[in-house]
Amino acid sequence: MRLRVVSARNEIPNLNPNEKMIHLAFRASNVDFLNLMQR
């Protein structure tokens, strides 16, 4: 299993839809979580 570390908001659009385990290394807002769920 791979864990993807996202260290900035601008990396969310670049995520591969196949990546299931993600760690947010920044203080995420509700909008960031919603953007992540939509991917």
Q: What is the DSSP string of 1-39?
A: ---EEE-SGGGGGG--TT---EEE-S---HHHHHHHHH-
How many structural domains comprise the chain?
1
Give me the pLDDT at residue 32, please.
Answer: 93
Domain containing residue 22: 4-38
Give me the pLDDT at residue 38, please.
Answer: 87
List pLDDT tens digits, range 3-37: 999 999 999 999 998 888 999 999 999 999 998 88
